[in-house]
Each structure stands twice: as structure tokens, then as C-alpha cells.
Structure 1
Amino acid sequence: MLRHALAPLFEPRSLVVISDQVLPYDQSPPIPLHAATVRVPWSAQGDPDDIRKALQEVAAGRGRPDLALVCVEPTQLPLVLNALASNPDTLPGAVILQPHNSRDPDPAATRDFSRLWAQTHPCLLLGPNAFGVQRPHAGFNFSQHPHLARSGKVALVAQSRSIMAAVMDWADDAHIGLSTAISLGDEVDLGIPQVLDYLTSDYRTDSIALYMEETGNAREFMSALRSAARVKPVVVLKAGRAQDGSGADAAFDAALRRAGAVRIRYFVQMFSALKVLGYAHRPRGQRVAMLANGNGPPQLALDLAGSQAPIVRAELGVATCRALQALLEPDADIRNPVITRAPLTPDIIQEALNQLLADANVDGVLVLLTPDAHTNMTEVAKRLAAVTPAARKPVVTCFMGDAGMRPLRRMLDDAGTPAFRTPETAADALGVLATHHYNQQLLLQMQPPLPPLYPPDREQAQALIDRAREQGRTCLSASEVQDILQAFFAPVEWRDEHEEGDCPAEDDGITLAIRVVRDARFGPVIGFGAGGLLARLGMVGGSAGGSLDLPPLNSYLAHQMMVRSRIWKPLLASESSPQALVRLEQLLVQVSEVISELPDIESLVLDPIRIADDHLRVDGMEMRLCAQPAGYTPLLGGYAHMAIHPYPAHLVRNQAFEDGVAYTIRPIRPEDAEALQGFVRDLSEQSRYMRFISAMKELTERMLARYTQVDYHRELALVATIQQPNPAHRGHPHDVIIGFAHYLRNADGRGAEYALVIGDDWQRRKLGYSLMQGLIEAARQQGLEYIDGMVLSANRPMLTLMTRLGFVNDPDPDDPSMRRVWLDLEPVAPVQEGKA
């Protein structure tokens, strides 16, 4: 089994320590690694031969060393690194460069040397100036923190040593356990995307907390973040808000929403997020009910609720209010928040909580309690600790106070249900959970699976841009902008430049605007909000009231953009016809397609856009081009100008079998989960065994998510489908999967493992050959070096097919019943504009 590329760093089997001082690791080295550790005491007069001998000693008994932990004076670093790389057979798999007590006379030179060394040698390099790594479950403390963190399920990743030290110190006091802690230092080699890749597959990690200051490569960051957030909650604290009016901070917010991650704004929120991420339950909405023993705490919590906030106050059902009225004292408040002023008992708190949890209008419950001399708070806390971990919805508690309440919070934390000190932090924690649910819905969205009935005329639009460049212009005329949007079938009417009469008055109907700008990190960003006079005066929906998103958009994402804007409730939802709103969604989607397919566009402004009855009318247009042409075709160049790779519609193929039956090969989508499960269930036992090498009858939820929620930047799954009537929907046609092929990147990051299965009724019809051809070509385009797979020796049809496709068929040295089939992939040169 291939080890993950980062396994030498996080799961080392051997270690070389090179240091001139005692390190935290030396205080309590883990027993399994202790016997595989060689120490090299170092000084200014250190001998590189000592390092070479240590490496050879490890290699003689255990093969190439996994990890080298280095802490030496900065001036000694080149000597040490060169000694580590003196023999390729003993070069460690990873190196951690910890900061030294002595001052670095030239930090830039140290970074440059380290970067060049990492580029030259096949070795992971963490640092320089890296806080290091902790893996508490294994007892690994390769960090500068003096104490090993508690073992838990939250991974902590930081771009700051000081932030890492502070959070770990707090986590120890709050009894919060970590699966991993890593601070990246100067990031000359190892960065956030690679670490996220590892944590995504790490079974010991259930959630990830990330502190960052720089994004780096936006496409790689977004790809890794989206992949991680599909399977594990990710919370991000980013420092350095843009104050220059560039909108970079808002663009980062939009990127995190689309990645399915949650952004927190303040350092103190990191603690709340870490606590609540360990909670097993996730809400399916943002409606919160509050249960309290006084008026003040829920009022403070309500300050964090509202239409633009992560949580809103739930409207309790009639049955719930009646049950609470019968349960509580006569003058209790039975609306939300539910407030009882009588002494609490464990039975009353449990029954009131059960009623709130059973209400269909409630997505989560916040219990806010203050010290009460007439209530046995310890017994109340014990009951909550016993019942809330098993609740079907999240329950977050706040026990205000310290002397008597802190032990009760600790009791609840240890029982697996988060407890907080203030109403604000408790409400914020529920907000983290609610935002995670909302952003997950955005993460799963993508463009339609099939090309539109009337495909846009990309060539005509590009020709208009080329003509402007030939004339030395980067600003297009209104008529040229109109022609480009018409080429993409934008559902609007246009103001005739020669139309007689004045421009309509500013208050003539609802006035909107769509603006596209190019962010330095994330590429095109689409903004939606008020236009015309409202925007110029900074009123509702102006720069602060609009909403942003990254392309590509679909109708759902476009609608959510509209709902997030401040003009939704007062103007759009109440004063616009359904037909006009549908056209507005379509316009946002078409603008998204324009900027996705035309990478030369730097900015686009449609302002004002007027809604009149059921129609949209654009009275102002402006489009500017980038100073330099993109020079590539997005379809074949991987949409390099975008942070999110669009649905690869160019891989959709409409084909037919020799008997004329039509079928489609296309990339899979999240909504194919039910169809894929049905496909697997309908396979014969033999076909299922040949594919999964087990007697499983259906896919697990995790497997379904892994196969259908695909990041097209790094992997692919293709399905072959036919159209059949769906009895569950009055016979309307739906896609039925008849074949499935996919590849996932291997742990080495260079190749991918493929899998192929064909429905029993569709075998021996050359479907497998067509699916594999599509898979191989896509893998080449993504720059993979090889594709391989494990096939049962008894699966002769599969082995024959792979031989026809040029695969090499090798025996598995560890299992004679298996064969490894593999194919080297020739790289595909980038396609330049005009050569597609």
C-alpha cells in the first residue's frame, strides 16, 4: 500500500535529530520511535561526516530515513542540509527546520537557500522557522511547544508560530484534544494545500482549524480546501483584512463560502470553533431556540442573530408552546427565547429541551444558565451532560460565571457537548455550525451537466475582443459589450443608443447592478447589488450591501447571491415578479459563463439594470480587458484564470452502441449519488466482487460522497448513462447509470489509481473501452505521470481490456491473486489560443 507523500512528516518510522540544544522531543520520546532515532549533537565546529554516518546507520537497518529534525544556528544550516543530501539513498523523506535561539544575520538568504535546496532534492521541507509538528496520539512532539497536546480529533494548522503557541496553551487548559498541530514557518516548500490533502485522508482527524495570513496559489488552495471541506468541517481565521478598498477581503469570504469552509473573524472565535467542531451533531439550518433561567443572557445572544447573521430566532410551533406552558410556571416566557424564573430541576430542563428539539422549526438549541441559589446547578449540568450528546440536533450550553460554573462547563466538555462561558461565544459557536451547513450547500453546486440547447457563440465573442486589441483598445464600446452578452444569450433588453428621449428616471422601477472585477488571488469575482442612484449615494445595497461570489455559477448560486444582498427583502422579494427574478438569475449565470469562457476580461459593469414588469433592461455597460491577453483556450487550458475549475462540459460525449442505442459519457455530479447507488445495487454479485473485492451490496455514505463530489482540478469520475422513464416521477425520463470509471490521485501525488465497472446488461459492447479512453485523456490533461489499478487475476475480461489500451500487466509480489496494471502517461502541452 502506498504511503501518503506526507507520511514521513506525520507518521515517521525513523528519525535523525540534529541539534545543538535540548528539544521538547528529547524530554519524552515515544517508545516506538525511540529505538529508530539517531541523535547528532551539533556545534559551530560540527562535522558533516557525523550526519552522514547517522543517516547510514538508520538506512542500514530501516531503509531511507523518514524524518530529520534540525535546530542549528542559521549560519550552519547550509552545511547541515548539504550533508543530509550528500547521498540520495540516505536522504530523509522530510526535514523540519526549527528556529534557533541565535539571531539570523540574513533571513532572506536563509529562505532562498532553503527554497533552492527543496526544489533540488526529493525531500519535504517544513520551515525555515517552523514551530513544527505534533501528533498527540502517537506521542510525537516535533515542535517547540514544551508539552504534548491532548489527543483528540481536531487538526490545527497555522502560518504563525506565536498563534500556534497561544492556541495550544489555551487548548490544554480547556481540555481540547488535537489530532495534529502544525505551524508552517516560511513555507519555502511545504504549504497549506499539501497539509490539507494529508488531513483529508487522515482518519484520526474529524475537523480542521486553520489560521492563515497568505493564500499562496489560489487554485491549489481552493482545490485542497474544497476537497477537505467535502468530508470534514474546516474553520478558517485569516489575518490582514484589506483596507485599500480593493475588495480582496470580500473576495476571500466568497472563496471560503464556495469551498464549504467557515470563516471566523476574531481570535477568540477560534476557541469557540475548536470546541464546537468536536461536536458530533450538525444543524440543517440556522433557526435557533433559546432556553434560559433569566432575561439577560438570551438578549445578549440575540444580538448575534438576525437576517444577515449566521443564526436567526426560530418561530416555535403551537404544539411546542402549549407543551412548554403546561411544563413551566404560569409567568414563564414560552415564546422564543423560553425563559423560566422558577428553580430548575433536571427533569424540567430535560423535558423543556426535548420539546424544543422535537419542534420542526428548530435547527439547534442554545441553553443559557446563570448561577441560582435555589437550583442544584450540578445536577442540572449532569443531566445535560447525559442527554445532549445523544440529541438529534446540536445543543450548545452556556454556564455563565467562573468560581462555581467553570467545573460544570468542564463536565459538559468532557462529556462531548460544548459548554461556553458567555452568551456571545455560545451563540457564535452555533453560528459556526449553521454557516458550515449553508456553505456546504454552496460547495455542492456546479454548472449543468450537459451543454445548453443553444450553445453560446464563443468564437464571435472572442473575435470582438481580438478586434479591440488589434485597434489598441482595452475598453470596449457599449455595442460591443451588448454583442458579447447576446452571444451568450443574456436574457435582457438593451437601450438603443439612438433611441430618442431622455434616459428613464432613476426611480423608474428597481435599479440593480452587476459588477465583475479581477481579484489578484482568486481571479474573477461577481458582485450583485443596488445600482444607479442608490449605489452612488451609498444607500441600501451599495458597496456594503451587495453580495459577491466566484464563478462558475448555476441558478441556485445566483439565487443565493440575490438573497444575501440587502436589497432582497425590501425590494426584490416584495416588488419583483417571479418571471423577473428568474431572468435575473439567468443573467447572473450568463455573466458567469462570459467571464469563465473569456479570460481576457478584467472588469464588467452592467449598471443600471432595471426591472420593469417581467423584463430586465440594461441601460449602462462597461467592459475592460486585461493589459495582456490570456493566450490560452480556457476549455483546454484548465481555466487557469479561475480559482474554481468549472464542470468539464467538454468531456460530455453523446455516443451510440452498434445497435443504435444512445448513451452519454459525462463527468459525475453530486446529484448522481442516488443513481450510482442504484447502479451498484443492480450489479451481479460477481461484478461487485470483481470491482470492490468484497461482498458489499451497496456503497457507504462516505464512498458515495467520495465518488460523486469531485474536484475536477485534481481527479475525475465518468459515468455512462442512458435515458429511461422514471416511475417515481410520472414516467419523466431520468439518467440511469450503466457504467462507471474514475481515478483518484495516489498518495505519491504523481499518479492515480483507476477503477472501472460496467453494468451486467451492458458488458461486451465496448463501453469499458470508451470510458477508459476518456479517463486516460483527462488524466493526461491534468498532468499525471501514470495511472494504475489492481485487478483480480481471475478477471480476464478486465485484463484483456487493459492490454488493448496499452497497460502493462505485472504480478503483485504480495498477493498472487492480484495483478497490477499500469500505464505511463505522456504529458499534454498547453494549448495556445488559435491552436485549439
Structure 2
Amino acid sequence: MLRHRLAALFEPRTVLIITDRPLALAQEPPRWLRNALTVVEAPPGSEPGVPEALCGVVPGARLDLALLCIDPALLGLALSRLERHRPRSLVILPHDRHSEAPGDDIERCRAWGAEHDCAVLGPRSFGIQRPHLGLNFSHQPQAPLGGRVALVTQSRSITAAVLDWARDIHLGFSAVVSLGDEAGVDVPDVLDYLSMDSRTDGIALYLEEPTSSRRFTSALRAAASVKPVVVLKVGRDGDSDSAEDVVFNALLRRAGAVRIRYFVQLFSALKVLVHTRRPRGRKIALFSNGKGASQLALDVMGGPESVSRADLSQASVKALSELLEPGSDARNPVVTYARMDADIVRQVVDILATDPGVDGVLALLCPDPLSDIEGAARQLARMAPEARKPIITCFLGDAGMRPLRHILDAVGTPAFRTPESAANAFGILGAYHYNQMLSQQILPPEPLGKLPRLDDARRIVGAAQRERRRVLTRQECRELLDCFHMPLRYVHGHVMVDDTPEDPYDDPLPMAIRVSRDPRFGPYIVFGSGAQDALLAAEQRAVELPPLNSYLARKLVQRSSLWQRALLTQITPAAFDCLIETLERVSQMVSELPGLDAVVIDPLYANDDSLVASLVRMELNSASMLVLPETTGYGHMAIHPYPRRLVQSKVFKDGQPWMLRPIRPEDAEPLQAFIRGLSDKSRYMRFVSMLRELTPRMLARYTRIDYDRELALVATVQVPNPEHRGHPREQIIGFAHYLRNPDGRGAEYALVIADDWQRRGLGAQLMRGLIDAAQEQGLTYIDGLVLAANRPMLSLMDHLGFQNDPDEEDPTMRRVWLDLGETRRP
């Protein structure tokens, strides 16, 4: 596998430290690094010297990492002296002498990093810690314990606080990084690296401000597709219902990450990410010795994205009633008041964990001198690691209960101190499950019914813009909606813009669909109450980011307070279908029309079989309608839509049809079957290893992609499916992928063709599809590394016009590349 650009930062093979104060790593480096570490101790205020030769660095090769801890006034001089060693990464730690011009330092580091192809962390960065490697590139006197969760923050002080807390409870990390001024390396860069880091099973992110909305969204989706990501974001100014905050929550849902709101929740998230199994649903069973603890837990549960109380089956209730003492409660929560011991715990948890309606078990135990609480704890410690569903525990108290919590923590099930924190931990898991479902939703490959009349729609918006109008007329609103085939009827046969007519129904249920634009994350869609009712429900807005499919549209409606309050029982199935289609088409409209700034359909009424709009208003911005959004990567949106335009039906020379299309999340199993079906030689030529199948993370990484930063195309044919009476199913026969390089100008490609389908021109057609898409996105080159022994691939690249150069670091590899401005078609 190819080495990631940030591997030099997180896993350096050669290191230079220039410091004017003691650093732990310089004084006690790990044994494996001693022959590859050069330490230059510069007296305070002196000019930082850089030796000609460095330990472990082959003459002419690049240094992996340089670390600077010097007076900021000497930063420019140190950078100039580092140039001859061409470090791949640079860490700049804070100094007790403050810079006279911190802004200038940031710009100097950013320009230097870009000029010398160096990943700069800082200035004023906490640094990086990699406990399993014994690396501590920070001021901290010691690194934390090793673990499976990475901590990423935009605050040195928060990092220090979390590490201090983690040391007290013996919690470890796979990596710790705090970014400082982000002159080079930023949050998206780190997320991108950690998404494929084999040492990291989960990521905790403390965020103050996303540095780039599209890059942040893309990297977050990539990371959350393969491992849990929890985000603690600050800066709400005390208003958790601000539009910006609501939109950010919607973004995290679509990325598959989980938002936590309080610092104390970060600790719960870290514990639950480290230990527990992932639930398949959001229904949990509670078990406690006494009613109070379970009631406290229930009080903090709820919400459409959180966990809720499971309904136990009659068989479970009967078994629990027979097991527990008279007067106990055998329904959820299960409460016993009798003596607690290990056997009771084993039987109760067994019953709850095997109930088909239960997705997880929360055991809450209070101190009881009449019970064997330690025996109960040890029983839970034996059961939890082998359970098929997550078991989370709460041992209320401190002096006597803390050692029992440590028993559970040590064997792999998180134990909490309070019912609220335990329930919140399950809520984090529930939100993770819910958001993962949303993150896998993309548009289907086939469009909704009729194709929109995009040329007509763009002509309407463009004409108004040329007249310098910001609001469309009544007739223009109607025509624009008709261009997208909205399933709406209009009161009196036309759209009312200025005045609302009298309600056409005796007992109307006013709804509203609104589109607004966030300055960072672009358009977002709001569904809820309409007319005057909208003022009453503003605190429970249901918000989603486009693009929407039918699943996302349904979830948007069901998250609204209007759904639970009235719509669930009052709207007919036919009208509900119209509502879902309308939301999908509104999403399509704002995706394809960057010049559309705001849309209001309010009030919107449902009758027996349709929707009736009383008022529609549309506002415009200055985005040109002459520039197609697909050529700019849908830059006006936070999430790139599925590139449906790349779906193409094709035919081989022998007449057999096949399909070329972008990959989708549901292609995971077919892609795995494709990889398993490759010969050992084909797998080695593609992955430079003998792996026989993709790991779950690799599988998710290749199928749940962001179409802005990467593209994966598959070639498929229809084959009989013996499991479904021979009905045809899609089979993947070719896979091509590119990922944007860190410079933002080019992309690295990968290509593999099924053995039985080689020598039919399939590789050339897949590569041309990648090349066309890369050119459309404005990339200037595409390149890749190919084994020098892979003659068929090198021959294909030569046929397509690629240059073939030796790789400066590995003589067994060739770098092939194509200048997209000079692409030639054979």
C-alpha cells in the first residue's frame, strides 16, 4: 500500500529536533528511533544551527520530520537552514517568548510549506503523540497510554485537560494531535490520515471552527464511514437553536458523525468508543436494583436520533416475572428490590440480551450492603465481552464503587459513575447508528420520473439576474416549479406571492418547506409547520442538507415536531407520497440552480390525494447560470450529489451490454465479491500485497465516497442470480478510482479489471471515464504508481498517453502521469 502524505508526521522514520529547552523525546527517545534522531540543542536566543548530516538520513534523501521549539524571532532563519534537508513534515511548538507578529509567522509557514512540499503543524501547536511508537512531539513530560481512539483538537488547553483526565482512569490513545494555528496541516488533513490508520478505531474531535466547509465535510464523511467520530464543537454563543448550529448538526448527521454538546460528554464518548460493541438499533433495556437509577436514566433519553426504551416480548416478561421476587417490575425498566448476586445478574441480562426487540442493555447498580455487588460486577465483566449486543454499566457512587467500575473497564465494557452519563453513552451509540444510516444515503442512479427541464429553469433565473432582480415574480415561481415537475396544485390556479388567500379547507394542517443558505455550508432545507403555527414550532426545526433521496426526505419529515403532533395521524398515504416527492424535487432544484438563494412554500396544505400551495416566494443571488454546477464540483453545496450524468450504458464489441457508473454504498458486497474473484497476480498488481479480500474499513472507504474529492467508477454486467430464481443481478467486472492529491491540482488513480474480462478494452474505457471526470472537475494532472513488472498496465497507460518515470524512492515502482491539458485519445 502507498504511504500517506502525513505518515512522515505520524510515523516518521528520520527526525531532527531543534530546541532551546529540554523535551522529553530528545532526552529519552524510543530505542527504535535512536539511530534516526538528531537533536540540536540551541541556547536561548542563539541562531539555530542545522548539521549537514543527520542520523538515519540517506545522502540525497528527504528528512521525514523536523521539530522546532525556538524563539519565534528566529523562525525565519531556522526555516531557511532546514531547506537543504527538505523535511516532509514540520512541527512548530509554542515558546514562552511571544511572537511580535503571529499573523506573519502563520503566513511565512504556510508559504514555506507550500514551496517545499512540507506538511507544517503549527505554529504554536501542542504537537503530536503516538503512544504505541513511544513518540512524544510535545511539551508534555510523558505520553499517554496506548489505546484505540485518536484525540484531535483545535485547543492546546483542552488537549492537556483530556490527557490529565485520561491518565487518572488509565485511558489510552492511538494518537493525540492539537493543530495550533493551522498554517499547513488542518483538521481535514488529520481526519483523512486517521481514517485509514490501522491503530485508530475511533476519533474524538474538539472543534472550534471548521477551516474549510467542503474539505471538512469531505474528510469527515470519509473518516466516519469507517470508524466512529464524535465531535464537540463550541462557539454557539449560548444559542443552540441558531441557524448555523442547526445546520452544523445536519451536516454531522449526513457525515455519519455524532455531535456532543458538553465537555463532560466527551469522556463518555471516549469510553464508549473504546470499549463497546456497536448496536444495530436504538432500543435498549434497563435493569437496576431500585427504581431511582433507572428513572434518572430515562429522564435524559429521547429524541429521534437517540435511544429509547425497548418493548420487551411477552416471553421475556414472563421469564423475568418467574425469576424475580414478588413486587419487582418485570417490564422495561426491569427493577428488583431483593438481594442482588451474580446469578441473578447473569439470568436477567441473558433474558434481556436475547430479546429480539432489544438492541442493548444498560445495567444500573447502587450500593447495597445486603447484596453481593462485587460479585454482580465480576459477572457482568465475564458476560459483556462475549455478548452479541452492547452492555453498558453504571455503578453509582465513588469510594466503594470506583474499584468495581475499574473491573468492568479493564475487560472491555464501559462503566459509568452516574445514570445520566451511562444513558448519554448509549445515546451516543444510538445517534451513531441513526447518523450512519443517513450517511449511506445517496441519490438513486435513475432520476425521479421525468427529467427536469434544466435549460428552461436556468434561463428563468438568468433572465431575472440580468435585470438585477432578487425576487422572482408569481409567474416565474410557477414556471420554475413546473420545470422540476413539482407534484403541487395551486390555489385559484396560480401561485400567490404577495397575499395569502383564505384557507381552502375546513380544518387545514398548514405545513411549510423552506430553503435558506448558510454562508459556510450552503443551502439547507427546513420542513415544519406553516402559516402562524410556524412561529410556535421554531424551536423544533427539522433541517436537512441537499441532496435528498426519498429515505432522507421521510426522515426529515419525521424529525419535525409537526409529524408527532399531527401529521402522523392526519395525512393520507397519497398526500404523504406527494410531500416526499416535493422535498426530493426541491432538493434537486437547489442543487442544480446555484443562483437560487431562498425558497419559501408556506403555507402548504394536504388534502386526500395531493398538496396545495398557497404562497411561494423565491429569492436569487448573483451566482452565474452560465457556469454549470457539475463543472465546479457543486461548490455551492456542502455535499456533492451523486454524479448521475456519468451513468452510461455501453456495449462490448461482441454485442454484450455493460454499464459504466459511479460506485454507491450498496455496492459493498458486489465489490468484495469482485476482489475475491481476482487471481493472486491481479490482486498483487493492484494492492502490492497478497490480501484476498478488502477489510471492512477498506470496503467502506471505497464505496462510501465523496464525489468532490474522489471518484470510483465500476463496470457491471447482468448475470443470473441462482438465489433469486435466476433473475439477473449486477456483477462488478472492473473498478477504477481516483483521489485528489494534497495539492488540490491532481489526483492519484487505481485500476483493476476482473481476469475473465481483460483484453476487451474495458480498462481503457474506465480510465477515459476517470480522465473525463478529472478534467471536468478542473484537475490538471492524474498520476499513479505501478509495479515495474506490471507490463499490461504500463502498456495501457502508454496507449492512453501517460508519461512513464522511475519512482525516486522505490526502483520496483514506476510513476505514470498524464497532463490533463494535453490529453490525447487514441
TM-score where L is the length of structure 1: 0.92
The aligned residue for residue 547 of structure 2 is: 552
Counterpart selection for 2:221 from 214, 217, 226:
226
The aligned residue for residue 36 of structure 2 is: 36
Q: Aligned with 1:281: secondary structure?
A: coil
Q: Say whether residues 1:492 and 2:491 are aligned partners.
A: no
Name stretches of at least 5 consecutive residues in structure 2 with no aligned partner: none
Q: Say whether residues 1:174 and 2:169 are aligned partners.
A: yes
Q: Aligned with 1:278: secondary structure?
A: helix
Superimposed CA distance per residue, residues 299-323 of structure 1 (whole angstroms, 9 cap, x where no aligned partner): 0000112344611111111111111
Q: Which amino acid aligns with 2:475?
A: S
How many Å separate the matches in 1 of 2:39 and 2:673?
Answer: 57
The aligned residue for residue 669 of structure 1 is: 664
Superimposed CA distance per residue, residues 420-457 of structure 1 (whole angstroms, 9 cap, x where no aligned partner): 00000000001111111110111111011134452111
Counterpart selection for 1:624 from 601, 619, 624:
619
Q: Aligned with 1:475: secondary structure?
A: coil
Shift of 1:19: 1.9
The aligned residue for residue 64 of structure 1 is: 62
Q: Say whether residues 1:615 and 2:610 are aligned partners.
A: yes
The aligned residue for residue 833 of structure 1 is: none
Flag the 1:60–1:720 CA change in 2: closer, same or farther, 3 A: closer
Q: Say whether residues 1:340 and 2:336 are aligned partners.
A: yes
Flag the 1:196–1:292 CA change in 2: closer, same or farther, 3 A: same
Shift of 1:154: 0.5
How many Å separate the matches in 2 of 1:204 and 1:698?
Answer: 20
Q: Say whether residues 1:160 and 2:161 are aligned partners.
A: no
Matches within 5 A, 1:78-157: 78-85=76-83, 87=84, 90-157=85-152
Counterpart selection for 1:443 from 439, 445, 453:
439
Q: Is the 8 A contact 1:679 1:759 kept in 2?
A: no
Q: Is the 8 A contact 1:385 1:415 kept in 2?
A: yes
The aligned residue for residue 471 of structure 1 is: 467
How many Å separate the matches in 2 of 1:688 and 1:111?
Answer: 44
Q: Which amino acid aligns with 1:374?
A: L
Matches within 5 A, 1:215-294: 215-241=210-236, 247-294=243-290
Flag the 1:790–1:381 CA change in 2: closer, same or farther, 3 A: same
How many Å separate the matches in 2 of 1:647 and 1:372?
Answer: 57
Q: Which amino acid aligns with 2:32?
A: P
Flag the 1:19–1:287 CA change in 2: closer, same or farther, 3 A: same
The aligned residue for residue 649 of structure 2 is: 654
How many Å separate the matches in 1 of 2:788 and 2:120?
Answer: 38
Counterpart selection for 1:822 from 796, 816, 820:
816
Q: Is the 8 A contact 1:154 1:205 kept in 2?
A: yes
Counterpart selection for 1:210 from 205, 210, 213:
205
Superimposed CA distance per residue, residues 101-138 of structure 1 (whole angstroms, 9 cap, x where no aligned partner): 12333333333333333333322211111111110111
Name stretches of at least 5 consecutive residues in structure 1 with no aligned partner: 830-836
Q: Is the 8 A contact 1:522 1:643 kept in 2?
A: yes
Q: Say whether residues 1:737 and 2:738 are aligned partners.
A: no
Identity %, equivalent residues? 49
Q: Is the 8 A contact 2:511 2:529 kept in 1?
A: yes
Q: Say whether residues 1:429 and 2:425 are aligned partners.
A: yes
How many Å separate the matches in 1 of 2:125 and 2:185?
Answer: 11
How many Å separate the matches in 2 of 1:170 and 1:359?
Answer: 37
Flag the 1:661–1:532 CA change in 2: closer, same or farther, 3 A: same
Counterpart selection for 2:766 from 767, 771, 783:
771
What RMSD, in angstroms, separates the aligned Cα atoms of the two structures?
2.8
Q: Is the 8 A contact 1:3 1:748 kept in 2?
A: no
Q: Say whether residues 1:512 and 2:511 are aligned partners.
A: yes
Shift of 1:345: 1.3
Flag the 1:498–1:436 CA change in 2: closer, same or farther, 3 A: closer
How many Å separate the matches in 1 of 2:102 and 2:736?
Answer: 49
Flag the 1:747–1:278 CA change in 2: closer, same or farther, 3 A: farther
Superimposed CA distance per residue, residues 389-408 of structure 1 (whole angstroms, 9 cap, x where no aligned partner): 11101111000101010011
How many Å separate the matches in 1 of 2:443 and 2:629?
Answer: 15
The aligned residue for residue 642 of structure 1 is: 637
Counterpart selection for 1:571 from 562, 566, 571:
566
Q: Which amino acid aligns with 1:528?
A: F
Shift of 1:741: 2.7
Shift of 1:802: 3.5
Q: Aligned with 2:820: secondary structure?
A: coil
How many Å separate the matches in 2 of 1:78 and 1:684?
Answer: 54
How many Å separate the matches in 2 of 1:715 and 1:394?
Answer: 35
Flag the 1:92–1:314 CA change in 2: closer, same or farther, 3 A: same
How many Å separate the matches in 1 of 2:39 and 2:396?
Answer: 50
Flag the 1:628–1:708 CA change in 2: closer, same or farther, 3 A: closer
Q: Which amino acid aligns with 1:14?
A: T
Superimposed CA distance per residue, residues 595-615 of structure 1 (whole angstroms, 9 cap, x where no aligned partner): 111011111111111101110
Q: Which amino acid aligns with 1:417?
A: T
How many Å separate the matches in 2 of 1:132 and 1:235?
Answer: 21
Q: Is the 8 A contact 1:242 1:248 kept in 2?
A: no
Q: Which amino acid aligns with 1:602?
A: D
Flag the 1:423–1:614 CA change in 2: closer, same or farther, 3 A: same
Shift of 1:652: 1.2
Q: Is the 8 A contact 2:751 2:763 kept in 1?
A: no
Flag the 1:648–1:175 CA change in 2: closer, same or farther, 3 A: same
Counterpart selection for 1:371 from 344, 367, 389:
367
How many Å separate the matches in 1 of 2:365 and 2:245?
Answer: 37
Counterpart selection for 1:602 from 597, 600, 618:
597
Count residues in correspondence: 817
Q: Is the 8 A contact 1:506 1:533 kept in 2?
A: no
Q: Say whether residues 1:503 and 2:502 are aligned partners.
A: yes
Q: Aligned with 2:285: secondary structure?
A: strand
The aligned residue for residue 530 of structure 2 is: 531
Matches within 5 A, 1:401-440: 401-440=397-436
How many Å separate the matches in 1 of 2:569 and 2:495?
Answer: 31
How many Å separate the matches in 2 of 1:35 and 1:787?
Answer: 34
How many Å separate the matches in 2 of 1:679 and 1:29?
Answer: 45
Flag the 1:801–1:430 CA change in 2: closer, same or farther, 3 A: same
Superimposed CA distance per residue, residues 779-831 of structure 1 (whole angstroms, 9 cap, x where no aligned partner): 444526332253584x7655543332234567899999x774723232599xx
Q: Which amino acid aligns with 1:73?
A: D
Flag the 1:62–1:499 CA change in 2: closer, same or farther, 3 A: closer
Shift of 1:748: 9.0
How many Å separate the matches in 2 of 1:763 and 1:475?
Answer: 56
Flag the 1:704–1:115 CA change in 2: closer, same or farther, 3 A: closer
Q: Say whether residues 1:319 and 2:318 are aligned partners.
A: no
Q: Which amino acid aligns with 1:824?
A: L
Superimposed CA distance per residue, residues 535-561 of structure 1 (whole angstroms, 9 cap, x where no aligned partner): 1xx32xx22222111111100011110
Tell which deviates more after alignment, 346-355 or 267-276: 346-355
Q: Aligned with 1:510: secondary structure?
A: coil
Q: Which amino acid aligns with 1:5?
A: R
How many Å separate the matches in 1 of 2:529 and 2:769?
Answer: 45
The aligned residue for residue 76 of structure 1 is: 74
Shift of 1:356: 0.3
How many Å separate the matches in 2 of 1:330 and 1:458?
Answer: 70
How many Å separate the matches in 2 of 1:145 and 1:495?
Answer: 69
Q: Aligned with 1:476: secondary structure?
A: coil
How many Å separate the matches in 2 of 1:731 and 1:293?
Answer: 56
Superimposed CA distance per residue, residues 281-339 of structure 1 (whole angstroms, 9 cap, x where no aligned partner): 10111111001001111100001123446111111111111111121112211001101
Q: Which amino acid aligns with 2:94?
A: P
Flag the 1:330–1:775 CA change in 2: closer, same or farther, 3 A: same
TM-score where L is the length of structure 2: 0.93
Q: Which amino acid aligns with 1:39?
A: V
